Amino acid sequence: MNKINITISNSHVNNNKELNDFSIINFIQNIEGIHINSLFEFNKYLEENNLGVFLTYREINIIKRPKLFDNINIDTHPFNTKQISGYRHIYIKDKNNNNLITSTAFGVFVNLKTNKIVRIPNEIIKTINDGNKDETMNVSSRKISYNDKLKETFLLKTNVKRSYIDRYNHMNNSYYIKMVYDLLDENFKYNNIRVEYINAFNINENINIYLKEKTTNKVIFLLKNDKNILYSVIEFKKR
């Protein structure tokens, strides 16, 4: 299964009655998980070998935010899947099949005990039935670039709560966005979100948030641990 239908409800919207960023990410995560679970041979191989798919990059393009009580369709397909990694596109569409939000994700196959990247046999990769890269979709580099010479401005210190933890015992990727969302200027308008996931935060780990770059159309945050190790780069941009 790679498609679900949803009616936008109260828990999905912001004060403008539009789909909020956290719901966007959760919708995307849900369809990704549902699709992977439907791939019988692939999912069986992951479970039998204690493997997972770890997200390392996500890009979201917001064309038009759906509103309260709108009916939407969400679908996905993987592409360019190799033995250690793969991409997928995700689409949030209106009832007339027009794109409202598009997303591209990149993930790697990881041993859940050792956290090491592993290779999946080609015969298992073939069972995924890859689709094609969408040439109409704007897919940026997985490396979020910024000016290293700019001084970092410390903004906030927080930590990973129990409620943030996902099935892999890491902070769920939606919380990276939540950590920085309230640090954005309220009047800053953006339609593109990119997140580079470099390391995974664990429960009770401290998170130090820095503003790295800010222009009229772009804001970049860095998330680090107490040892100043970079865990994530998050960019909000107006295209």
In the chain, helix, strand, coil percent, each to 5? 20, 40, 40
| CATH number where 108 lies | 3.10.129.10
Residue 75 has pLDDT above 80, yes or no: yes
Burial class (CB in 10 A: 0-12, 13-18, 19+), 155: middle
In a domain, 139, yes or no: no
Q: What percent of the chain has pLDDT over 90?
A: 94
Confidence band, pLDDT 50/70/90 cuts, at residue 148: confident
In a domain, 137, yes or no: no
Mean pLDDT of the chain, nearest integer: 95
Confidence band, pLDDT 50/70/90 cuts, at residue 1: low
pLDDT in tens, 154-164: 999 999 999 99
Q: Phi/psi at 98 (nearest 5 deg)? A: -85, 140
pLDDT in tens, 108-137: 999 999 999 999 999 999 999 999 999 998
Residues 157 and 116 in one domain: no
> Stretch 64-79: mean pLDDT, rounded?
97
What gap in Å lies between CA 180 and CA 141, rounded to an integer? 21
* Structural domain containing residue 36: 3-128
In a domain, 133, yes or no: no
Residues 115 and 227 in one domain: no
Q: What percent of the chain has pLDDT over 70?
A: 100
Domains held by the chain: number: 2
